Amino acid sequence: MWRKRSLLRLAMLSTFALVAVYYTTSQLHTIKKYRNRRKVGSVPPWAPVILVNELQYVGTAPEDDEDVFARHAFNLRSSNELPSDRSLPDTRHARCRDVEYGAAPLQTTSVVVAFHNEDRSALLRTVVSVLNRTPPDLIEEVILVDDRSDDEQDGSLLSSLPKVRVVRNQAREGLIRSRILGALEARGDFLMFLDSHCEVNVGWLEPLLDRVTQNALTVVSPVIDVIDMDTFQYRASSPQLKGGFDWSLYFKWLPLSHEERTRRGSPMEPFLSPAIAGGLFLISRDWFQRLGMFDSGLRIWGAENLEISLKSWLCGGNVEVVPCSRVGHVFRKTHPYTFPGGNADTYLRNTKRVAEVWLGDHKRFFYEAQPNARALDAGSLQEQLEVKSQLDCRPFQWYLENVFPELKLPNEENSAFGQLKQGSQCLQSEVESSGVKLAECNESELSQHSWAFNVHTASIQHGKLCLSVRNKLNLVLETCTQSYQQEWSRHGRAVVLLSSGQCLESGIRSELRLSECRRGAMSQQWDFTVELQAQDDHPVNIT
Ligand code: UDP
Ligand code: MN
């Protein structure tokens, strides 16, 4: 009996030992295999993290009558109801799962998340998704920069999570300076910037690292999937869009050109992009520092994505989007936080800094699109200009020709545009009467801007309307018809109605009229703010 029992025990023990040995070796084997060849998307061999008192940290659900969008401009209840480690649909192209990334060199990434009054559940999910979906040996740390949130504990309670470091600003610095502070704290070889309401998806980091290890001067962005601001449902974004902007320096998405699509071959291949969309990108810490980081003169929010993109392109690097890397972000319609300097002015001032430093002569197109920017004081640009000359950066014209040919000069048929001036007086439209008059030039008076001389149709345009002669003497703005009442030519500084040979003239009471052309008459001399072609300086039909 005793023997039988001990035999049984021995058999059980040895089976257990065998299973344990097998389990350990196979685990080691998996980890080893994983270390050497990173095939991303399989079950991670590292232990998931949890915040011990998650429920306590996140707090109670919003009251029934609470406006769930009020505090964060996304649905607070939806966010609160989700666990921090929810699973996500794998939105990558199916073949991304089979890519094996070469053994990563022993280089690590510091993830930098700046936040100001972020919803706790969204912030926690951002951090937990990083810790649980990234091989630990690739992550140096997650640096949370608390940009002076009202409640210090939003950040500090997360410092118990592995690898998480929290730094708190003494005063509100804004997104850009907060990220700079995070970068200065960072010890990793690479920096990955994330917003505080993101979720990284399976295998997100390896494909990004793969690109920067091949070219250390690359700024890489994942494809940014959409976390619905109401339902928090996670949806795939198109992996075929690149980032660009218009002359107002507003970001916009652009489809890849037909040529770019065919050249790519595979939908999984990274592609070049004129700009990154915003806050989510990876860059080598060294390249970021050499580029002067972000311009620390940028305030609160905005334009830093264009700044870093332009810098990287113009100063010897590039910008790429990597479709096999997916990160979700809650896109929302408004900013839920205050802008101490006013929302619109802050963005305008930030874009003005970028235009002044990086657009060269082309900045005049920016001012044409954003006339109110002229009068703003953008502060000193000294440091940025120094970076530009130290790195011997290329002119914006090169970028237009080689990187962003889609950014056309505003109507190439226009030989001149801007304000149409006579001395300190500007031509101004009057909406009600559809008339025009002269008034003292005023940068912020929009009815004085957007005049253009279109050489193709020989018309003087103001927005969509054309300067037209009614009843042979009244000057009005009408729909463009290309009729003889709207055909003008410019001779020197004179503006001549082609059909009659008469000149546009200002009268004593600042009214506009047509009269015989007289050489040298000041009342017949007109200038546009921007002249793209030299004027024919031989007046004709002048008595
Ligand atoms: N942010 C910050 N300080 C600020 C404004 C914003 O730290 O003064 C953070 C914000 O919490 C978020 C990131 O910067 O993590 C980007 O802001 P937001 O999500 O509002 O920008 P969007 O995604 O709309 O471009
Ligand atoms: Mn955001």
Each residue's pLDDT tens digit, 416-429: 888 899 999 999 99
Average pLDDT over the chain, rounded to an integer: 89
- State which ligand 1 atom lies nearest to the alpha carbon of 145: 7
pLDDT at residue 508 tops 50: yes
- State which ligand 1 atom lies nearest to the alpha carbon of 197: 15
How many A from CA of 197 to the centre of ligand 2?
A: 6
Tokens of 455: 């050489």
CA–CA dist 188, 282 (Å, integer): 12
Task: Tell me the pLDDT tens digit for each residue of 443-461.
Answer: 778 889 889 999 889 999 9
CA angle 113, 212, 204 (to 5 degrees): 55
- State which ligand 1 atom lies nearest to the alpha carbon of 117: 11
CA–CA dist 220, 320 (Å, integer): 5
Q: What is the pLDDT of residue 6?
A: 56
With H, G, I as helix, E, B as strand and everything else as coil, classify residue 175.
Answer: helix
CA–CA dist 503, 488 (Å, integer): 9
Residue nearest atom 10 in ligand 1 by C-alpha distance: 115
Which candidate, 100, 112, 102, 159, places its Cα nearest to that of 139?
A: 112
Question: What ranges make up the beta strands (E) of 29-162?
Answer: 38-39, 100-101, 109-115, 139-146
**8 Å CB contact between 145 and 180:** no
Residue nearest atom 14 in ligand 1 by C-alpha distance: 175
Q: What is the pLDDT of residue 47?
A: 81
Of residues 18 and 330, more confidently modeled: 330
Domain 47-330: CATH class, spelled out: alpha beta
Q: Which of 37-46, 137-146, 277-286, 327-336 has the lowest mean pLDDT?
A: 37-46
Whole-model pTM: value is 0.77
Q: What is the pLDDT of residue 28?
A: 38
The closest ligand to the CA of 340 turns out to be 1
Of residues 384 and 519, more confidently modeled: 384
Question: What ranges make up the beta strands (E) of 195-247?
Answer: 198-200, 218-227, 234-235, 241-245
How many Å separate Cα 455 from the centre of its chain?
A: 35
Burial 263-277, CB ≥16 within 10 A → b, else e? eeeeebebbebbbbb
- State which ligand 1 atom lies nearest to the alpha carbon of 172: 8
Task: Tell me the pLDDT tens digit for each residue of 436-445.
Answer: 999 999 877 8
Residue 527 pairs in a beta bridge with: 421
* Residues whose CB is less than 8 angstroms from the CB of residue 382 and which lie 6 or more positions away in sequence, other chains included: none
Q: What is the pLDDT of residue 214?
A: 94
With H, G, I as helix, E, B as strand and everything else as coil, classify residue 76.
Answer: helix
Task: Tell me the pLDDT tens digit for each residue of 69-108.
Answer: 999 999 999 999 999 999 999 999 999 999 988 766 789 9
- State which ligand 1 atom lies nearest to the alpha carbon of 114: 7
Confidence bin at 37 (pLDDT 50/70/90): low
Confidence bin at 11 (pLDDT 50/70/90): low
Task: Tell me the pLDDT tens digit for each residue of 100-140.
Answer: 887 667 899 999 999 999 999 999 999 999 999 999 999 99
Confidence bin at 22 (pLDDT 50/70/90): very low
CA–CA dist 242, 228 (Å, integer): 21
- Name the residue ranges covered by the structural domains of the chain: 47-330, 414-531
Residue nearest atom 16 in ligand 1 by C-alpha distance: 195
pLDDT at residue 25 tops 70: no
Residues with CB under 6 A from ligand 1: 114-116, 118, 147, 172, 174-175, 178, 195-196, 278-279, 300-301, 335, 337
With H, G, I as helix, E, B as strand and everything else as coil, classify residue 95.
Answer: helix
How many A from CA of 227 to the centre of ligand 1?
A: 16
CA–CA dist 412, 332 (Å, integer): 35
Percent of the chain with pLDDT over 90: 72
CA–CA dist 52, 50 (Å, integer): 6
Q: Which CATH number fits domain 414-531: 3.40.50.300, 2.80.10.50, 1.10.3720.10, 3.30.1490.20?
A: 2.80.10.50
**8 Å CB contact between 357 and 295:** yes
pLDDT at residue 540 tops 50: no
Residues near ion ligand 2 (CB < 5 Å) are: 195
Q: Which of 130, 175, 196, 245 to mutate to test the pocket of ligand 1 (most atoms within 8 A of CB)?
A: 175
**8 Å CB contact between 459 and 466:** yes
